[in-house]
């Protein structure tokens, strides 16, 4: 499994956005690293709790895979594509504030292998 390694550079723009809430970056092995956008983390406020998806499990597009909580408000995140979650970020599960501090770096959420290769690019907004 190729390791995911981002430098902690919170001001670096994401490769692509999926709506206002998520960004993704394609890895050489065809998987995608998914994270929360700067805009979404600001709207959420200071995150205190995060429960991520189950590594190794296959989900359907739009299925809720993660939840987060800030200031007593719970939000949910859906998977943007049919696929298998191959890795989650243990750092954000023990310290959800990492998502606020470095949403495009160490605050990434999970890595997914889409059921159909390349499908994630369809209908997303490229910025990188």
Partner 1 sequence: MSGPVPDGSSPFRPELPVWRRIDLGRCSPLRAQTFVESVAQFVGAGEVPNTLLFARPDSPYVSLGFHQSFAEEVDPQFVARRRIPVIRRVEGGGTTWLDSDQWFYQLVYRDEGAGGPGDLARFLRPVAEAARGLGLTLTVRPPSDLVVGERKISGNAGGDWDGAHILVGGILGRADRQNMADLLRLPHPGIRPIVRAELARWVTSWVDETGHLPEWTAFADAVTTAFGAAGLFGTRSADPSEAEEAHFRRETVARHQATTWRELPPLPRTASSVERRLRVAGPHGILVLAGPGSEERRIAIVDGAVVRAGYALGPSLEAVARPLPRESSELAELATAVRSITGFD
What is the binding site for partner 1 (CB under 8 A)? 43-45, 49-51, 67, 69-76, 90, 93-95
Count of residues making up the chain = 128
Question: What does 45-68 look like in DSSP terms, one character per residue?
Answer: -SEEEEE-PPTT-EE-TT-EEEEE
State whether residue 40 is helix, strand or coil: helix
Q: How many CA atoms lie within 13 A of 1 on its CB side?
A: 13
| Closer Cβ to partner 1, 9 or 67, answer by number | 67
| Closer Cβ to partner 1, 16 or 77, answer by number | 77
| Closer Cβ to partner 1, 2 or 60, answer by number | 60
C-beta of 126: minimal distance to partner 1 in Å?
25
| Closer Cβ to partner 1, 31 or 89, answer by number | 89
C-beta of 72: minimal distance to partner 1 in Å?
4
C-beta of 90: minimal distance to partner 1 in Å?
7
Apex CA 124: angle with CA 122 and CA 127, to 5°? Answer: 130
């Amino acid at each position: 499994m190729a390791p995911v390694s981002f430098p902690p550079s919170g001001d670096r723009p994401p490769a692509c956005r999926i709506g206002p809430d998520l960004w993704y970056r394609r890895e050489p092995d065809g998987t995608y690293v998914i994270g929360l956008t700067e805009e979404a983390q600001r709207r959420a406020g200071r995150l205190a709790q995060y429960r991520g998806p189950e590594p190794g499990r296959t989900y359907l597009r739009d299925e809720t895979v993660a939840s987060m909580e800030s200031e007593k408000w719970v939000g949910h995140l859906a998977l943007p594509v049919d696929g298998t979650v191959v890795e989650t970020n243990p750092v954000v599960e023990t310290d959800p504030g990492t998502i606020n501090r470095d949403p495009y770096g160490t605050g990434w959420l999970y890595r997914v292998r889409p059921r159909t290769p390349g499908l994630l690019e369809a209908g997303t907004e490229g910025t990188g």
